[in-house]
Structure 1
Amino acid sequence: MAASTASENLLSISWHDSAWIPILNPANVMDYFSERSNPFYDRTSNNEIIKMQRLNPEQLNNMTGLEYILLHVQEPILYVIRKQHRHSSTQVTPLADFYIIAGVVYQAPDLGSVINARLLNTLSNLESAFDEAKSYSRYHPSKGYSWEFKNQEEIDKAKAKEKKKKEEPSSLFQRQRVDILLTEWAKKHPPKYTAAPQADKQQDENKEQIKLEMKTEKSETASQSSHTSSRGPAEKKPRLR
């Protein structure tokens, strides 16, 4: 029971050392996994003995007991380490698998833990479904059992709220934003004038032209009259007898 509890606790945690992550590779990943702060590493394993005595890692095949091996490598992000019990040089019993993703160590769940978690999730969803179905059932002494779903009630309440809801006045920000958008729209798409304003403009130009011509005629007439008065009265010729 204690071993099962310890295993469940390890499934819910992770471990990493930020100093190792940039330099992690297949040559040093076992040293990284054997750090003392790693809760997944058992210091009574043969790997710790090899490490303390500075022996060749290949000596693990000649020893018996608990050990860790590098099972799979997918550089540069994934490493799989297996915990196993070695009985002889050719016989081992797998105990647990650990995977390292981007430098973070996790324990892979065993088949029993996966099935147990799925069953608990299924039972929880079924219980919620039964509780919800039970909340819709009604009983009346004369009518017996009946169903009363909340969907229709919620629809009716929503319609009633929409009828009672009043239109909220626009804020100053909304009004300013609308004015800006309308101004930009008017600049991109200026209004096109109809023919009537063009006709009025032509009439105004014609009137100005007529006024200018009248002024010109008046000025010419005044100039001619002033020139005649400067010559004086006409001299009388003598009569012949």
Structure 2
Amino acid sequence: EETALAYFCQIGNPFYDRSSLNEQIYMKNLPAEAMLNATGIEYALIHRQDPVLYIIRKHFREGPNELRPLQEYYVLAPGHIYQAPDAASVISHRLLTAVHHFGKAFDEASQRAAYHPSSGYYWKTNNSSDELTKKDSSKDKVLTVTQRARFDAIFPNYHERFRPRIPAGTTTQTAIPPSTMNTEATTIPGGDTNLPRKEERTPSDSQSNISERPMIEVKKQKTQK
């Protein structure tokens, strides 16, 4: 313990404060117990792991039992001295390192992402360029089964939602249903029925029907008299 603390309190150590109580005790050749009632900066060995690790603390002594920690130092074999970082410095350094690596990962991922009309989104690899040229050379493959199924499922929905509306006040022409038309079917013995045919009327037939109606009414009036 005395050897590690004496090694730390050498003049060539940049972490050692020559105005500390340790330097005053050493210069005045006083016992170590004299520092208990003194006030000032003191260096003390708080942990040891022979022969590789020694931890020395720098604290401010305000009385026999009042100590305020200021800094800690590591003495590693074969005699290297390191200043221990505080918790805020460690956390900030770890966060900055994590953010840096996350940023590089996102940049790399954004450069690897690609899109092709026939295959959709994919990630670029070392062999993806050769595969992409092969896909471009084949012109027969226009749409995949997945893309065609998606189109068939989406298009009817939008067709019903955005159907064109007929403006108010306009009349629509309705087609005559086939059941209201005068049709007759001719049968052939031993065969099937032919297609229905429409009645053919000539203009003379329609005029004759109109001219017969008033004659019938006149005859009815004479019989009543």
TM-score normalized by the length of structure 2:
0.51
Q: Percent of counterpart pairs with the same letter?
A: 42
Rounded to whole Å, the distance in 2 between the matches of 1:147 and 1:136 is 8
The number of residues matched between the two structures is: 129
Question: In the alignment, is residue 112 of structure 1 matched against residue 88 of structure 2?
Answer: yes
Question: In the alignment, is residue 128 of structure 1 matched against residue 107 of structure 2?
Answer: no
Question: In the alignment, is residue 32 of structure 1 matched against residue 7 of structure 2?
Answer: yes
The residue number in structure 2 matching 1:150 is 125
Equivalent position amino acid for 2:128 in 1: E
Equivalent position amino acid for 2:101 in 1: N
Q: Residue deviations 1:106-142, cap 9 Å, x none?
A: 12222112111110111011001111011123478x8
The residue number in structure 1 matching 2:66 is 91
The offset of 1:100, in angstroms, is 1.1
The residue number in structure 2 matching 1:54 is 29
SS at match of 2:36: helix
Q: Residue deviations 1:56-75, cap 9 Å, x none?
A: 12211111121101112222
Rounded to whole Å, the distance in 1 between the matches of 2:100 and 2:55 is 33
The residue number in structure 2 matching 1:69 is 44
Rounded to whole Å, the distance in 1 between the matches of 2:25 and 2:86 is 28
Question: In the alignment, is residue 82 of structure 1 matched against residue 57 of structure 2?
Answer: yes
Q: Which has the larger radius of gyration?
A: 2
SS at match of 2:16: coil
Which structure's relative contact order is higher, taking Cα pairs within 8 Å and 6+ residues apart? 1
Structure 2 residue runs without a partner (length 5+): 132-225
Rounded to whole Å, the distance in 1 between the matches of 2:53 and 2:93 is 25
| Correspondence list, 1:191-230, <5 A | none
Equivalent position amino acid for 1:48 in 2: E
The offset of 1:148, in angstroms, is 4.0
Instruction: Indicate how the Cα distance of structure 1 residues 155 and 84 shifts in structure 2: closer, same or farther if over 3 A, else same.
Output: farther
Equivalent position amino acid for 2:111 in 1: S
What is the root-mean-square deviation in Å for CA atoms of aligned residues?
2.5
Rounded to whole Å, the distance in 2 between the matches of 1:75 and 1:136 is 52
Rounded to whole Å, the distance in 2 between the matches of 1:65 and 1:50 is 12
Rounded to whole Å, the distance in 1 between the matches of 2:12 and 2:104 is 41
TM-score normalized by the length of structure 1:
0.48
Structure 1 residue runs without a partner (length 5+): 1-25, 157-241
